[in-house]
Amino acid sequence: MTANLDDAREILRHTFGHADFRGLQAPVIAEMLAGRNALAVLPTGGGKSVCYQIPALLRPGVGLVVSPLIALMSDQVEALRQLGVKAARMDSGLAPEERDATWRKLSAGQLDLIYLSPEGLMQPYALERLSAAPLAVLAVDEAHCVSQWGHDFRPEYRALGRLAEIFPDVPRLAVTATADARTRADIRSELRLEGAAEFVASFARPELALNAERKRTKPHDRVAALVKARPGRSGIVYSGSRDGTEKLAERLAAEGVAAKAYHAGLDKSVRNDRLNWFLGEEEAVMVATIAFGMGIDKPDVRFVIHADPPGAIEAYWQEIGRAGRDGDLAEGVTLYSAADMSWALERIRRRDMPPEAAQVQMRKVRQLYAMLEGPTCRAAAVRRYFGESDVAPCGQCDRCLHPPKGVEVTEAAQKALSAVHRLGGRFGRGRLVEHLLGKTKGVSESEAAMSTYGVGKEFSPGGWRDLIDQLLFEGLLAEDPNDGRPLIGLADPDGVRAVYRGERRLTVLHAPEAHDSTSRSGRPKRRGEAAADLSGEALGLFDALRAWRRAEAARQGLPPYVIFHDQTLADIAVARPRNRDALADINGVGAGKLDRYGAAVLAVVGDQ
C-alpha cells in the first residue's frame, strides 16, 4: 500500500516533532508520494527540507539529495541524525574508508537519505552505485543555481538534467527559495521537469521587520550604532569588500561587540573556525562578504545589516532571510547610496556576458534601488517583484511605521540638471554642490559667470547631495565611477527635457524624524522573541535549560540549536513537563530527541 498524507503527518509529529505541516509542505509531499515530479518555491525558512525528507522516509529506497555546499550538507545530515534518521553525505572531503562504509550501507539498504554535491553525483562510480540501489526520491536543493539568469549560477548544476534519463522512474523534486518566472522556466527546462506540478509559496516573511536608509557621511559609524542598539543578539553584517569586513569587525570588536570577519580571502581553516564560532555562540556578530552565504541556517540570527547593499532583490531576500529562521521577530537594515548603484551597473558593463544577459542584470539592479528608494511597504514591494498580487502592507517596516512625506523639488531639480549641463560632466558631487551654493574654492572667472553659479541657496549642502542622489536613482543623472573619483553627467535626455519643461514633477521623500532604526521608537515590539514573554520562574528554568544545552552542545561539538531551538526551551520552561509523555507533547520534541535528551531535560526541570 502506498503511503499517504496521514502517514506523512505521523512522521512529521513523531520524528520531527512538529504539530502540523506548514504552507505548501503537504501538497508538495503528496505529489512526491504519488510518484510525480514537482518544483517547489518556498521562502527561506519555509521548511523546504521536510518536503523531500519525509517522502524519502515513506517511499521504499533511499532519498538522494543534491546540494551545492558541503557545509550545507553536513549541517542537514547532523540535524537528521539527531532526529534518529539514517542520513549520510558523500563528498570529496571524506576519507576513503568513510566513503566505502557509506556506499556499503547504501547497498545494504541501511540509509534513509544520502546527500551529494552535483559534481560528486555525476561521477560514473557514484551513478553506478546509485543506479543499483532503489531510490525513493531525488531532490535538487537550491535549484535556482541551474539558471544563468539567476544570481547564483553554478555550471555544474547543468549536468543534473541527465538524471531524468538515468532515473526515469524516480520522482524528482526541485526546491529553491528564490525564483522569478524566468528562473522557474529555466529550472524546468534544464532539469527536465516539463510536466511537473509547480508550488510557489507566498514570499511573506511576517517575522521580518525591514528598514533601509541612504548612507550618510560616515557609514561605519552608522553600522556600529545599529549593531550596538541590538545588544545580546546574534546577527550578520554584510559588507561589499573583504577590506570592509576586516575594518568593520575590528571596529565593532573595539567597541565591545563579539564580532569577527569572514570572507573568501581567509584561510579555509580560519573560515571554518569562524563559521563554527558563529554557529555555536548565542550572541555572535559575523561581518562578512556574501561568501558567507548559502547554508547559514542558524535559526536565532536576529538581524542582518547590509553595510553595503545586495546585488538584486533575489539576493536581498535571501540574505535578509537568514534572520529569523526560528520564526521569531528579526530585523533587516540596508544601507545604500547612489554610488553603490553606479558601481553595480558599472560592474555589469565590465563583465564579459551577452548583451541580453547584461540587460537583465541591470534591470535587476534598478529594481532593487527602486524598492529601496520607493515610498511603499518594503515587504510588499519584494513580494510583488516575485510575482505575488494583492499583497497587503506588512505593518512593521520603516515605510509602514512612518510613511514618508513627498516634497516637491522640481524647480531645484531643474537647477541641478542645468548646472551639470553647464559644467559639462567634468566634476563630481562635491564640486557640483559647491557650484550650486556659489562656494567653489578658487572658482574660475568663467565658472563664476555661469548662470547656475550660486543659484541654489535654498538648500544646505546635505539637501543638495540628497537631491543629486535622487536624480541618480531616477536615472536622470549618471555617475561615471572614474576609478574612485566619480564624475556626474546627464543621462536619459528625454527625461531631462521633461523635467526642464515641468512635464515631469519630482519629489523627494522625507522620512519623519521619528523614524530611526537605532532607537526603540523606530523598532518594532519584541514580539515573540523566545524569552520575551517569560516571567520570573519560567525565565529561571529557561536559563537553566540554556545552560544545559550549552554544555551538551560543547560536549558533542555541535551548535546549540541542533539540540533544541530557543522556542522549544521556552515552551518547556512554561509547561514544566514532569514526564516523558508531557515532554513529547512540546513542539520540537520528536521521538529521537526524546530518547537522546528526555531524561536530561526532565532532570533540569525537576531541579528547578
- One of 31, 246, 297, 340 touching ligand ADP (CB under 6 A): 297
CA distances (Å), origin 20, targets 24, 248, 329, 391, 465:
12, 42, 21, 25, 53
- One of 13, 22, 402, 550 touching ligand ADP (CB under 6 A): 22
Longest CA–CA separation in the chain, Å: 92
Q: How far is the CB of 49 from ligand ADP (least distance, A)?
A: 3
Q: Is 345 in the site for Zn ion (CB under 5 A)?
A: no
Q: Is 46 in the site for ligand ADP (CB under 6 A)?
A: yes
- CB distance 214 to 78 below 8 Å: no
- CB distance 564 to 584 below 8 Å: no
Q: Please give the angle made by the CA atoms of 334, 385 and 466, to the nearest 5 degrees.
A: 40
User: By C-alpha distance, which of 28, 73, 31 is closest to 51?
Assistant: 28
Amino acid making up residue 455: V
User: By C-alpha distance, which of 266, 296, 399, 288 is closest to 44?
Assistant: 296
| Residue (397 or 468) nearer to Zn ion, CB | 397
Distance of CA 604 to the CA centre of its chain: 36
Q: How far is the CB of 19 from ligand ADP (least distance, A)?
A: 7
Cβ burial of 391 (10 Å; 0-12, 13-18, 19+) is: middle
Q: Kindly give the pairing relationship between strand 301-306 and strand 172-176.
A: unpaired
| Residue (151 or 523) nearer to ligand ADP, CB | 151
Which residue has cell 544520502?
114
Q: Please name the helix (run of DSSP H) or strand (run of DSSP E) that holds residue 299, with its range, or none.
A: none
Q: Which 8-state DSSP code applies to residue 196?
A: -
- One of 146, 175, 394, 455 touching Zn ion (CB under 5 A): 394
Residue 42 contact among ligand ADP, Zn ion, none, beta carbon within 5 to 8 Å by kind: ligand ADP
Q: Is 227 in the site for Zn ion (CB under 5 A)?
A: no
Q: How far is the CB of 213 from Zn ion (least distance, A)?
A: 15
Cα dihedral sign, 534-540-543-544: negative
- One of 296, 397, 420, 530 touching Zn ion (CB under 5 A): 397
User: By C-alpha distance, which of 136, 92, 161 is closest to 2?
Assistant: 136
SS3 158: helix
- One of 3, 15, 21, 259 touching ligand ADP (CB under 6 A): 21
Residue 47 contact among ligand ADP, Zn ion, none, beta carbon within 5 to 8 Å by kind: ligand ADP
Residue 18 contact among Zn ion, ligand ADP, none, beta carbon within 5 to 8 Å by kind: ligand ADP
- CB distance 300 to 285 below 8 Å: no
Residue 299 contact among Zn ion, ligand ADP, none, beta carbon within 5 to 8 Å by kind: ligand ADP
Q: How far is the CB of 4 from ligand ADP (least distance, A)?
A: 17
Q: Is 42 in the site for ligand ADP (CB under 6 A)?
A: yes
Q: Is 292 in the site for ligand ADP (CB under 6 A)?
A: no
Q: Is 45 in the site for ligand ADP (CB under 6 A)?
A: yes
Q: Is 89 in the site for ligand ADP (CB under 6 A)?
A: no
Residue 17 contact among Zn ion, ligand ADP, none, beta carbon within 5 to 8 Å by kind: none
Which among 57-65, 260-268, 371-379, 462-470 is the span making contact with Zn ion, rule CB under 5 A?
A: 371-379
- CB distance 144 to 152 below 8 Å: yes
Total residues in contact with Zn ion, by rule CB under 5 A: 6
Residues in contact with 231: Cβ distance below 8 Å, sequence separation at least 6, in sequence order: none
- b/e code 394-411 from CB counts within 10 Å (16+ = b): bebbbbbbbbbeeeebee
Q: Is 377 in the site for Zn ion (CB under 5 A)?
A: yes
- One of 44, 117, 211, 517 touching ligand ADP (CB under 6 A): 44
Q: How far is the CB of 588 from ligand ADP (least distance, A)?
A: 8
| Residue (54 or 400) nearer to Zn ion, CB | 400
Interface mask (CB under 6 A) for ligand ADP, residues 119-138, using x and -? --------------------
- One of 29, 32, 50, 287 touching ligand ADP (CB under 6 A): 50
Q: Is 24 in the site for ligand ADP (CB under 6 A)?
A: no
CA distance 543 to 531: 9
* Residues binding ligand ADP (CB under 6 A): 18, 21-22, 25, 42, 44-50, 297, 299, 325
* Residues binding Zn ion (CB under 5 A): 377, 379, 393-394, 397, 400
